[in-house]
Amino acid sequence: MRIINFLRDQWFAIVIIAILVFMQVQSDQRVAIYEEKLIELRKEIECYKLKDEQLKYKVDSLSSLDKEVVEKIKIIKQKEYVQVKMVDSIPVSELQKFFTDRYSEGNSN
């Protein structure tokens, strides 16, 4: 009987406690949802880190290709320079004969 009287006298406090417990349960559920989202975001971050490493590797490999291309361009320029010097050293009459023989009117190229 005492318990029933106590509950009747303290009904407002019991309602407040019930509401607070309900709010705590709801809050815990929201926290759990946010923790799941946090785990998913961490997984995505790891994926992006892996992609970043792969892209860094590709960029590094491209920079080494850049050096190779520059070196090939230098070689081509050197060959071009040698050929131009060689043509400059040939007398005009020999150049005329070369082009006449190569591009004669009878040749249909």
What is the arithmetic mean of pLDDT over 49-74?
Answer: 85
Residues 69-80: tens digit of each pLDDT:
888 999 999 999
Q: Look at residue 25 in the predicted model and tell me its pLDDT.
A: 94
Q: Is the pTM of this model over 0.95?
A: no
The domain locations on the chain are: 2-102
| Residue 106 to residue 21: CA distance in whole angstroms | 105
Q: Look at residue 85 in the predicted model and tell me its pLDDT.
A: 87
Distance, first Cα to last Cα, the chain? 121
